[in-house]
Amino acid sequence: MLAIGRSLMTNPSLILMDEPTEGLSPILVKTVGNMIERMKQRKLSILLVEQKLSFALKHSDFVHILNLGQIVHSSLPKDLEKNHAIQSQYLGV
């Protein structure tokens, strides 16, 4: 949370968030989600790297799945949510 606040102090046009929910309680995960939504409303570009699929789908406008450094799937979140074959193959869901 502190890292997010500090990065916003520089007035960036892009912010990279690497696993921002890792190790957080459910209440703090919700807080981080709310912060992401506020940043999106302010037209801040966000590159979100996240292993919690439900969180990533809820807070993303577009998703890419990487495997061995290659993009193997790109879609809207709603399309990935329905694509159980891709989820099973690459995400272990």
Predicted confidence at residue 5, as pLDDT, reads 85
CB 65 within 8 A of CB 53: no
What are the C-alpha distances in Å from 27 to residues 23, 24, 30, 40, 63?
Answer: 12, 8, 5, 20, 24
What structural domains and CATH numbers belong to the chain?
1-60 (3.40.50.300), 62-93 (no CATH)
pLDDT band, very low/low/confident/very high, at 92 (cuts 50, 70, 90): confident
pTM metric for this prediction: 0.86
Q: Looking at the DSSP assignment, which residues form a beta bridge with residue 46? A: 15
pLDDT class of 4 with cuts at 50, 70, 90:
confident
Structure tokens at 16: 């990279």
Residue 25: band (very low, low, confident or very high) from pLDDT cuts 50, 70, 90: very high
Q: What is the mean pLDDT of residues 55-62?
A: 96
